[in-house]
């Protein structure tokens, strides 16, 4: 890597606060079975997120960690849930998208719904395996109770790597932009055509 080339990834730390832009693998999330909601015996089913990336802000994650370490419990600093985006290896996401034009734009980060991430070299992967190119569909985000995320990390979920600046901010601003888009009642092309 040249000195002018920005580093895309850094190793995840084995302990310490979760980090914005951190890739977690094998995160199992227990979800209520819809048909059992309200019954005397609600049932759970595990949904496994093979790859996910943290979208919550670093400052919130850091304050939450410090509050937990100080034993403050449900303090004002506690972050009740972590915001994640579900990630896929790019080869899998390409099959899901199933449209060559959309995929080519997504691969170049020219489609606001998707984020394309470079491959993670083995030296920046905390378990030393590396990861292939990844993609995120910004429609597939979820929250996870913070204390459960930390518990799941002791039960098989793995902290892999984290995005470095400016790639971290690129992901964050693109996700926020996607969430802030405004649906128009009529496409601007239709408005221009109707006015002529």
Tokens encoding 89: 């290896």
Number of independent structural domains in the chain: 1
ω before 75 within 30° of 0 (cis)? no
Cβ-contact 126, 14 below 8 angstroms: yes
Is 103 within a domain? yes
Q: What does the pLDDT look like over 137-189, one tens digit per residue?
A: 999 999 999 999 999 999 999 999 999 999 999 999 999 999 998 888 877 66
Predicted confidence (pLDDT) per residue in 33-84, tens digit:
999 999 999 999 999 999 999 999 999 999 999 988 888 666 666 899 999 9
For residue 97, being part of any structural domain is answered with yes
Residues 126 and 161 sit within 8 Å (Cβ to Cβ): yes
CA separation for the pair 71, 86 (Å, rounded): 31
pTM of the model: 0.88
Contacts of 130 (CB under 8 A, 6+ apart): 119, 120, 121, 122, 124
Residues 6+ apart with CB under 8 A from 29: 46, 47, 48, 49, 142, 144
Three-class SS state of 159: strand
Residue 4 domain flag: no
Range of the domain at 57: 9-195
**CATH number of the domain that residue 176 is part of:** 2.30.30.110
Confidence at residue 112, expressed as pLDDT on a 0 to 100 scale: 94
pLDDT at 194 over 70: no
């Amino acid at each position: 890597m040249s000195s002018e080339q920005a580093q895309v990834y850094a190793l995840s730390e084995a302990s310490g606060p979760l980090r914005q832009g951190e890739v977690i693998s094998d995160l199992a999330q227990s979800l209520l079975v819809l048909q059992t909601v309200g019954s005397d015996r609600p049932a759970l089913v595990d949904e496994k997120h093979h790859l996910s990336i943290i979208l919550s802000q670093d400052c919130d994650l850091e304050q939450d960690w410090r509050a937990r370490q100080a034993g403050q419990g449900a303090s004002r600093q506690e972050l009740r849930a972590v915001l994640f985006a579900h990630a896929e290896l790019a080869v899998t996401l390409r099959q899901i998208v199933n449209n060559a034009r959309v995929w080519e734009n997504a691969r170049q980060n020219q489609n606001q719904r998707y984020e394309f991430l470079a491959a993670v070299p083995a030296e920046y992967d905390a378990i030393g395996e590396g990861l292939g190119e990844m993609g995120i569909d910004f429609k597939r985000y979820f929250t996870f109770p913070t204390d459960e995320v930390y518990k799941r990390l002791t039960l098989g979920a793995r902290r892999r790597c984290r995005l470095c600046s400016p790639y971290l901010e690129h992901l964050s601003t693109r996700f926020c932009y996607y969430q802030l888009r405004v649906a128009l009642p009529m496409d601007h092309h239709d408005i221009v055509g109707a006015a002529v």
